[in-house]
Amino acid sequence: MQTVIYNQKGEKVEDLALPEEIFGLPWNPDLMHQVVVSMQANERDTIAHAKGRGEVSGGGKKPWRQKGTGRARHGSIRSPIWVGGGVAHGPTKEKDYSKKINKKMKRKAFLTALSQKFRDNEILFLDKVVLAEPKTKEAMAILKSVSSIKGFEKMASRRKNKAILALAKKDAEAEKSFRNIPGMEISEARSLNPLSILTHKFIIISNPKEAIAAWK
């Protein structure tokens, strides 16, 4: 399994042999659905919360006596059937949406997502990312250069979920330069996950030999 490594000017540098166990896995829809749904659930913030009858203010006293008034009996104005009373069976902030994901499942889903992106010609391998100075203008120039490569023409023009720049190791200058570009996400290669891969159109892998070594 062969691919091409380009430089940041969009020129071919060398050929690279890719390991089958990382970029040659078949698509597994059931696994991907289970892992992605679980990851989305784990990222979900529990915001909705309705006050029950024990949380709303007032109602410490019985509204009126039990009998003799001709009205229905009531014990508290905090009852759910009163306007301004508590909510019965409403959403609470204590609800936990998280789901367990086995490590082997998450790893296989990650490699499956990488393999599918490679088959779809949506992974670009760059030998390195070098910036004269940490500026968004410099980063945009790199994107425009690599968008001349066949299959990556929309790299510079796409605004939403454009691409992930996967760095072999932390690079503060690259992060500062690319983070202001709409649709771009910057991550270390070892921190990529199936959800981030599938929610972006392209993946730019800088220093691919070192990045691939981190996935083995």
Cα 52 to Cα 55, 72, 83, 170: the distances in Å are 5, 22, 13, 48
Q: What is the pLDDT confidence band of residue 189, given thresholds at 50, 70 and 90?
A: very high
- Is the per-residue pLDDT at 133 higher than 90? no
> Residue 144 has what pLDDT?
92
Kindly report the average pLDDT of the chain as a whole number: 92
DSSP state of 162: -
DSSP string, 18-56: PPHHHH-PPP-HHHHHHHHHHHHHHH---------TTTS
Rounded to whole angstroms, the Cα distance separating 93 from 50 reads: 8
| pLDDT (average), residues 60-88 | 93
Strand pairing of 123-126 and 163-167? Answer: unpaired
Assign 204 to helix, strand or coil.
Answer: strand
Rounded to whole angstroms, the Cα distance separating 178 from 109 reads: 27
> Residue 154 has what pLDDT?
87
User: Domain coordinates of the chain in residue numbers?
Assistant: 2-44+97-215, 49-95
Rounded to whole angstroms, the Cα distance separating 177 from 156 reads: 14
- Is the per-residue pLDDT at 206 higher than 90? yes
pLDDT digits (tens, 9 = 90+) for 141-154: 999 999 999 999 98
> Residue 163 has what pLDDT?
93
pLDDT digits (tens, 9 = 90+) for 24-42: 999 999 999 999 999 999 9
> Residue 159 has what pLDDT?
83
**CATH number of the domain located at residue range(s) 2-44+97-215 in this protein:** 3.40.1370.10
> Residue 155 has what pLDDT?
86
CB-side exposure of 185: number of CA atoms within 13 Å?
Answer: 20
| pLDDT (average), residues 50-77 | 92
